[in-house]
A and B are shown apart, each in its own frame.
Chain A
Amino acid sequence: MNDTTSPVRARRSTGAIALEFLGSMNLAITLLVVIAIASVIGTVLQQNEPYTNYVMKFGPFWFEVFKALGLFDIYGAAWFLILLGFLLISTSICVWRNTPHILRDMRHYRVDVQEKSLRSFHLKAEWDTPCDRSDTAARAAALLSARGYRVRQRAQDEHVTVAAMQGAVGRLGYILSHASIVVICLGGLIDGNPPLKWQELRGEVRAETRDIPAGEVPAESTLSTDNLSFRGSISIPEGGTSSVVFLQLRDGYLVQELPFTIELEQFRVEHYPTGMPKSFESDLVIHDDDLKEPLRQTIKVNHPLIYKGYSIYQSSFGDGGSSLSMRAWSLDLPHQEPLELNSNVNRFLRLTTTRGERTLEFTDFKLYNIFPLDENDTSGKKFRNYGPSIVFKVRNPAGEALEYVNYMLPVELEGRPFFMSGMRATPSEEYRYLYLPADAAGTPQRFMALLAAAHDVKRVRSTIETQLGDMVGTDAASKEVRSTMIESITRLVALFVEQGIDGVVKHAEASVPAEQRQEAINSYVNVLQGVLGALYVDMLRSEGVDVAQGVSDADSQFFDDALNTLSMLGAYGSPFYLQLSAFEHIEASGLQIARSPGKDIVYLGCAMLMVGIFMMFYMHQRRVWIYLTPRDGGTNVLFAGSGHRNRMEFEREFHALQAELEQAVPRRAAAD
């Protein structure tokens, strides 16, 4: 590259110095490395998350520092864009400075080269040949052009110079590839939407952070159809329409209006047997006054619809407000009459429960839940579908919420059916599951009946009385003991059904010395088993089961399961169990809509870049000269060459050429 550096000038203006600096190789390389390093930050730190996540992760102090540095949206941060800007300027200056000289160099054969400078070449050879000058020149020129060189000759005084060159177009590679950087950046800049950034900077456009319907978003957060470039997303339920999309902006969003309306007719997901989605596609209808009739098209992942320069992509899917019918079974009441509820996903209900006001927020519905059959099974082949489920939150007046996932259908565990309900307090936890035994009819009815009976103090007390029977005498003192026992057992049962086994253990911890505690708990459990067992047998009788011959294995198994469930109920946290009884699945399609007028410019730049780079690497400009001087009736041949790139390869080529030349214009025999 020594031939591209500008000659040192004696006096230079400040502008020239600045230009020199901006176009310098050192700056270019530094920029390449610095941008690479800066880009790392954005990949390590998750970008554009809700701000609260960052506060939680880094604490308020570092949050502010990072926010000021723009680290949460680094690729949009001013300092990062300035770095890119410098690279753009540097490359532009570089191209602008080198192009004229490269173009000249491509056309010049340099026939006026000086003998002295040829002698200083690294690759050169010299010999005398008996052939005469013009014959030598002709043979050399013919050989070189047969080897793909373009040749020029010049005779001056008694010398002849044959100058040859090959692969000069390769030099265009430099111009193409470096100009392409400029082109790509320009395209990217257009898509980066500078006018919008400017409006944002001046406060004319502000992100909306509240969760409100699109129609209520104020004008300063709404962008008209004049906006040239954006990329946003929208979720449309089946049968629904939209003529806006939402653009994410820092900790909020903007509403972008569209010049047409998108209707989602139908959405389809297909799954592989593993539960992995295989394909999802949306039947869209575009309504536009400019269209004679609505445009219908199905889009799927990797197959977008492009309309009026707006590209509409399938990006995700979710629930579009499926309607849900549910039965709420109270977990606190002594009688069991489930409450029928109706709602939709993304809606909520307010209920007055035994434990006060509760808001029920329905957040998701899933038609399939496919999990590996065995968690240790790595083959990934055995799967099981757990059927439909709903996800909802139960929020108390203080705003605290527990999240639940309830499966509609009983799940077989060890051959017996259970209703599964998962609970967690925060999204980062795993669900803890409650398994509620299902009765023969596949309902929670029987378990709920037992639970209600256990809540029925009168019934519990009379059961205890029957059980105690004649165990205690009839004198006054014994009566006293008897009624204390009844009272404390009744309280024990109440404690158990309200707080589960945890409550019983806590009670023991508070009232029994440590060394006798385990024993006490065991006897509590025995008593509970006895009382609840008697209640259960009563219940079976009233169901019409013949218990004269004892309780069947299945029924007694049911009781064990129910007791297990009861002991876990205390930690369940909800005043009711919600059973999904029916649903109508409504899906929503997640669409991404983008308008990027700079895309074609970027693609043009990419094409230039690829062609340019291959030209740079694989088409080398190389030159050779043959300088002929008459000597002793023959001719002295001075052969020299220089390759622009790829020294070793050119050296090989040069020696091969030299050998051929020495055949074409042979050396004068030494004896001559």
Chain B
Amino acid sequence: MSVSSDYLEQEFKQPSLLKRLGWFDWLWALLTVAGTVYAHIHYVEFMDSYEVGILYGTAITLIWLGWTWKPTRQLSLVIALLSLFAIALYGSDLARGDSNFFLKYLVSSQSAIMWMSALYVMATFAYFFGMFARSDFSNRVGSALTWSATAMGFTGLMVRWRESYLISHDVGHIPVSNLYEVFILFAVITALMYLFYEGRYKSRQLGGFVLTVISAAVAFLLWYAFARGAHEIQPLVPALQSYWMKIHVPTNFIGYGGFALAAMVAVAYLLVERRPEGWLAGRLPSLEQMDDVMYKAIALGFAFFTVATVLGAMWAAEAWGGYWSWDPKETWALIVWLNYAAWLHLRLTKGWRGRPLAWWSVVGLFITLFAFLGVNMFLSGLHSYGTL
């Protein structure tokens, strides 16, 4: 019996992940490793052992991501090529940003971000048109635009990183240090999360809704750049010169992105739920599926928000001398966290579904928005960056 069961099990075994990989997957891994080793050899003198660890950790993450979520390979390649192109064009002279054609109109960080903005707005229209006209073609255009916008957004951030070092070595820093930069981060992370679910559920119908919140972020970004000149790269105040910033901020924005995604799906949910037979109902995914996306997005957001808050506490312990100071930003993070903890409990233990939770996620977005923006605008505290 046991012999035959081993034998049988062999028969049912599925090929493992490694065996299922195609030549492009291996090429992808090879490229990533080659790039990483190149970076290691050339820049090892600028890195401490943590940073070398992070470098290889990033490579492994990228390979794994490319294998399990295939489109990220193309995305990463495009971002890498555009960024390298821009860096090569710059050389060591920041002024080329104004004189070189490609930099000026395509890949300097500011141009890339403008492209990102335009593409996201176009994607929003394409998705909505696709929904109204039931045009799959238009939806596919929306998808393509969203991928391109995301590529431009990431390129903009990468190039901005380089530009900050071109200004002067001591000004250089990762571009997640002020409100302008994190808005870009918010747009690209939310878009990526949406694209993930789009692929997962093979449904492009929610695109318009999610891209609406991204377009709103883009509108703010443009206003902030043109009215306030916020796109200028500023040096870091001492409190921000910390390794923790690099991981705390992006982690936080995975959280914010998840909450924003959930809220926009909730809006779609509420619209359909109000008129189950209405014409929107036929154009959007089933209520059950939207409810599921909403839960998944909040779960993911909550998990990362938890990590981000813990990282924030550890950073605070190092920068301010206490892991928890009831500083307004900290406190609002706690408020957001408690709010979604209550949401999750209602769903998971009390079996709530549907309308009340959808409303709650919409309200949750406003609470999140206050934690993200309102605190900087209206309250004063130790979080010194990004006052409006």
Contacts and interface: CB of A to CB of B under 8 A. Distances in A.
A477 B4 CA distance: 143
B170 A142 contact: no
B323 interface: yes
Contact of B318 (A277, A304, A380, A617): A304
Interface stretch (B11-19, B34-42, B64-72, B208-216): B11-19
Interface in B316-353: 317-324, 326, 328, 331-332, 334-335, 338-339, 341-342, 345-346, 348-351
A592 B349 contact: no
Contacts of A593: 321
Interface string B273-308: 000000000000000110010000001101100110
A32 B342 CA distance: 6
Interface in A286-323: 300-304, 311, 313, 315
Given A33-B338, A302-B238, A138 B1 contact: yes
A36 interface: yes
Contact of A315 (B320, B323, B381): B320
B239 A302 contact: yes
Given A278-B170, A380-B229, A613 B334 contact: no
A300 B238 contact: yes
B8 interface: yes
A1 B242 contact: no
Given A138-B5, A617-B299, A276 B321 contact: no
B345 A32 contact: yes
B48 interface: no
A29 interface: yes
Contact of A29 (B12, B292, B346): B346
Contacts of B314: 603, 606
B302 A380 contact: no
Contacts of B244: 302
A380 B232 contact: yes
Nearest to A300: B238
A34 to B, nearest CB: 9
A379 B235 CA distance: 13
Contact of A380 (B234, B303, B375): B234
A272 B171 contact: yes
A592 B339 contact: no
Interface stretch (A40-48, A106-114, A449-457): A40-48
B8 A138 contact: yes
Interface stretch (A327-335, A339-347, A553-561, A594-602): A594-602
A424 interface: no
A302 B242 CA distance: 6
Q: Please classify the interface of chain B as helix (H, G, I), strand (E, B), loop, or mixed, using the class held by over half of its residues.
A: helix
A32 B336 CA distance: 10
B262 interface: no
B74 interface: no
Contacts, number: 152
Contacts of A311: 321
Nearest to A138: B5
B235 A276 contact: yes
Contact of B241 (A33, A302, A617, A648): A302
A313 B238 contact: no
Given A44-B379, A143-B12, A613-B306, A1 B349 contact: yes
Contacts of B323: 596, 599, 602
A75 B9 contact: no
B380 to A, nearest CB: 7
Q: Please classify the interface of chain A as helix (H, G, I), strand (E, B), loop, or mixed, using the class held by over half of its residues.
A: helix
Contacts of A78: none
Contacts of A138: 1, 4-5, 8
B339 A596 contact: no
B121 interface: no
B321 A142 contact: no
B331 A43 contact: yes
Contacts of A594: 321-322
A138 B307 CA distance: 44
A36 B321 contact: no
Contacts of A35: 338
Contact of A609 (B237, B299, B310, B332): B310
Interface string A584-596: 0000000011101
Contacts of B302: 613, 617
Given A39-B331, A280-B238, A380-B232, A272 B380 contact: no
Contact of B319 (A39, A139, A302): A302
A274 interface: yes
Interface in A600-630: 602-603, 606, 609-610, 613-614, 617-618
B348 A645 contact: yes
A592 B320 contact: yes
Contact of B292 (A33, A146, A188, A648): A648
Contacts of B232: 378-381
Contacts of B1: 138
Nearest to A135: B4
Given A25-B349, A596-B322, A610 B338 contact: no
B322 A617 contact: no
A29 B345 contact: yes
A578 interface: no
Interface in B220-262: 228-229, 232, 234-235, 237-239, 241-242, 244
A596 B8 CA distance: 59
Nearest to A280: B238
A139 B241 contact: no
Interface string A1-29: 10000000000000000000000010011
Interface of B: 1, 4-5, 8-9, 11-14, 170-171, 228-229, 232, 234-235, 237-239, 241-242, 244, 288-289, 292, 299-300, 302-303, 306-307, 310, 313-314, 317-324, 326, 328, 331-332, 334-335, 338-339, 341-342, 345-346, 348-351, 375, 379-381
9 A-B pairs closest in CB distance:
A142-B8, A146-B12, A378-B229, A301-B238, A592-B321, A43-B328, A313-B321, A36-B338, A302-B242
